Amino acid sequence: MGRVVKQSAGVGRKSTKPGAKGAPREEAKRLRAAIAARKPSARSKTQGSRSTTQRSRSATRKPKPSTRLSRKPIHADVRAYNASQADSDQRICDALAKAIHQNLPGNGTRDVEGKIWHRHPVWFMDGNPIVGYHKLKDCIRLLFWSGRSFDEPGLAPEGGFQTAGARYTSVRQLSAKDLKRWLKKSVEIQWDYKNIVKRKGRLERLR
């Protein structure tokens, strides 16, 4: 009767084993962290939307039209005329054709046209002859229809009206600077040969 029953060592004590109740909480934290890592941030969403908008704009953006004048090749008849000359004269003709083609504004377009006229190459602006060249007995003659008004010592009067020109026996005599300057003046200074017949031989200055 007087016995005292000893309490079992495990009865009535809280468990001190780690993870017994904290394991579910830790697992929940890991799941929330994993979900948060998968979601894109607000900054990345903004950057993504910007890049998408830029791509769509660049895809729909129309290219700006070119302001450069397109140049057609030198007329086939002009090249054939040059090829029909002797070697030394052909080199002069080729150099002159190239200089004229490169320095006349819009050459090969509607405004400026090079063709064979009276059996030799001539370039016209709006139907008015401005420059050409042809074979003489001992040289190649470059001719400007309004050349007497250029005030250029390198151009001598040739024929009638306002024509003036230069004569070449070698391609080494050509000056690129002189040709460029003369051709510029051939556009700026013009006499109206186009309507000379209508005016009964009277020549008037256009510009």
Q: Decide if 161 is inside a domain.
A: yes
Q: Give the span between the Cα atoms of 14 and 29, in whole angstroms.
A: 25
Does 200 map to a domain?
no
Residue at 120 is within a domain: yes
In a domain, 144, yes or no: yes
| pLDDT at position 72 | 75
Is residue 95 in a domain? yes
CA distances from 127 to 98, 124, 147, 175, 189 (A): 21, 5, 17, 27, 15
Number of domains in the chain: 1
Q: Evaluate whether residue 44 is within a structural domain.
A: no
Q: What average pLDDT does range 148-170 have in this prediction? A: 96
- State the CATH number of the domain containing residue 157: 3.90.1150.200
Task: Give the global pTM.
Answer: 0.64
Lowest mean pLDDT segment, chosen from 112-116, 137-141, 172-176, 179-183: 112-116
- Please compute the mean of the pLDDT values over residues 186-201 and round it to a whole number: 87
Beta bridge partners of 134: 141
Does residue 65 fall inside a structural domain? no
Question: Where in the sequence is the domain holding 154, given as residue range(s)?
Answer: 76-188
pLDDT tens digits, 32-66: 777 776 765 555 555 555 666 566 565 566 555 44
The pLDDT of residue 103 is 92
Asked whether residue 141 is domain-assigned, the answer is yes
Going by C-alpha positions, the residue among 165, 158, 145, 193 that lies closest to residue 96 is 165
